[in-house]
Each structure stands twice: as C-alpha cells, then as structure tokens.
Structure 1
Amino acid sequence: MIKPILKELIHDERGTSAIEMGLICSLIVLAMFTALQNFADASHNTWNTVTSKTHDAVTQSTGG
C-alpha cells in the first residue's frame, strides 16, 4: 500500500517548475532589495551633503 504511493511521489515532477520559478523570483527580489538599499544609501548621503552645505552657507551669511 505505501510502496506504490512512495514510488508515485518520487517520480512526480509536476512541482519542480514551480519550485524553480520560486527560486528565480526570490533571487530577483533579493537583487531588487540590494539595489534599492544602495540607492537609499546614496540618496541619504546626498541629502546629508545638501543639509550640511546649506547650514554652512546660512551660518556664513548670518555671521554666526
């Protein structure tokens, strides 16, 4: 009774495509998160530079 069921499960290949697609999608999502994190870091650094330069310019113009 159990042997035929196990043989059928071992030779069943219907889910392999779904697993492969899931792995590919997860790699794509991981790459997207990495790219987004890099973009966020660069954007944060840019705005910090703008803030610093604006603060310096205001300080110099007001004599403070």
Structure 2
Amino acid sequence: MSRTTILTPPYHPDDIAVWPDGAWATLGEVWRGEFSHRSDDFEIVRLEDVARLKELGLADDFDVS
C-alpha cells in the first residue's frame, strides 16, 4: 500500500480507478459522476505506475510496457 506525503502530487484526472472486479475508469470519469453506479471501494493507480498497471493486467490497455 502506498502512502501519501506532503511531497506526493495530487491525483490527476488521467489516473486510474480500479475496482476489485477488474473494472477501471479514469479518475476524471469518476469525478464527473460517470461511474456513480459503482461502489467507492476502488484503488487509485497513478498512470505513471507502470509496475502496478502490469500487476493488475492493465498495461496493454494503456500501451505501457
């Protein structure tokens, strides 16, 4: 689990919300209410966190390797 510090930049709308069932959306979409039908128990993964995107099987969706 990552920790937020005073040096941690704020989340960006392009960061990714990932639900336990594997569904995902950008934070921008979540913030706009486009996923209000889903629970709020999602994990936020920064777009530059390539290692975590790979662990979640999402690297191909974002063309990162």
TM-score by length of 2: 0.19
Q: Which has the higher helix share?
A: 1
TM-score by length of 1: 0.19
Q: Which has the higher strand share?
A: 2
- More contact order relative to length (CA 8 Å, sep ≥ 6): 2
